[in-house]
Amino acid sequence: MSTPAPRPPHRPARPRKPRDEPGVERGYGRFPRGLALRLFVYVVAGHLLAGFLFLLFEVGGGE
Protein backbone atom coordinates (compact mmCIF):
# COMPACT_ATOMS: atom_id res chain seq x y z
CA MET A 1 0.00 0.00 0.00
CA SER A 2 1.26 3.42 -0.87
CA THR A 3 0.39 6.62 0.87
CA PRO A 4 -1.57 9.23 -1.09
CA ALA A 5 0.33 12.20 -2.46
CA PRO A 6 0.25 15.28 -0.22
CA ARG A 7 -2.30 17.87 -1.23
CA PRO A 8 -1.24 21.41 -2.09
CA PRO A 9 -2.27 24.03 0.47
CA HIS A 10 -5.79 25.35 0.04
CA ARG A 11 -6.03 28.79 -1.57
CA PRO A 12 -9.14 30.86 -0.99
CA ALA A 13 -11.11 31.44 -4.17
CA ARG A 14 -10.88 34.87 -5.75
CA PRO A 15 -14.13 36.81 -5.57
CA ARG A 16 -15.84 36.81 -8.96
CA LYS A 17 -16.33 40.03 -10.83
CA PRO A 18 -20.06 40.74 -11.03
CA ARG A 19 -21.43 40.23 -14.54
CA ASP A 20 -23.34 42.91 -16.37
CA GLU A 21 -27.08 42.60 -16.06
CA PRO A 22 -28.67 41.92 -19.46
CA GLY A 23 -30.07 45.09 -20.97
CA VAL A 24 -28.50 47.39 -18.39
CA GLU A 25 -26.14 50.15 -19.48
CA ARG A 26 -22.53 49.56 -18.49
CA GLY A 27 -22.05 53.10 -17.24
CA TYR A 28 -21.23 56.39 -18.87
CA GLY A 29 -23.87 55.80 -21.56
CA ARG A 30 -22.17 52.75 -23.12
CA PHE A 31 -24.20 50.07 -24.91
CA PRO A 32 -24.59 46.66 -23.31
CA ARG A 33 -21.74 44.40 -24.50
CA GLY A 34 -24.01 41.92 -26.32
CA LEU A 35 -25.75 44.66 -28.26
CA ALA A 36 -22.48 46.30 -29.33
CA LEU A 37 -21.07 42.96 -30.49
CA ARG A 38 -24.23 42.06 -32.40
CA LEU A 39 -24.30 45.48 -34.05
CA PHE A 40 -20.66 45.13 -35.13
CA VAL A 41 -21.31 41.66 -36.61
CA TYR A 42 -24.40 42.87 -38.49
CA VAL A 43 -22.52 45.86 -39.94
CA VAL A 44 -19.63 43.67 -41.12
CA ALA A 45 -21.98 41.03 -42.56
CA GLY A 46 -24.07 43.71 -44.29
CA HIS A 47 -21.01 45.21 -45.94
CA LEU A 48 -19.79 41.80 -47.08
CA LEU A 49 -23.20 41.05 -48.62
CA ALA A 50 -23.34 44.46 -50.32
CA GLY A 51 -19.81 43.96 -51.69
CA PHE A 52 -20.73 40.52 -53.03
CA LEU A 53 -23.85 41.87 -54.75
CA PHE A 54 -21.82 44.75 -56.22
CA LEU A 55 -19.27 42.25 -57.54
CA LEU A 56 -22.04 40.15 -59.11
CA PHE A 57 -23.46 43.16 -60.94
CA GLU A 58 -20.00 44.27 -62.10
CA VAL A 59 -19.09 40.82 -63.45
CA GLY A 60 -22.50 40.10 -64.97
CA GLY A 61 -23.04 43.58 -66.38
CA GLY A 62 -22.64 42.82 -70.12
CA GLU A 63 -21.00 45.58 -72.14
Q: In the chain, what are the domain boundaries?
A: 31-63
What is the average pLDDT across 35-59? 96
Q: What tens digit of pLDDT does each residue of 21-41 get?
A: 665 556 677 778 899 999 999
Q: What are phi and psi of 28, to 5 degrees?
A: 55, 30
Confirm whether pTM is higher than 0.75. no
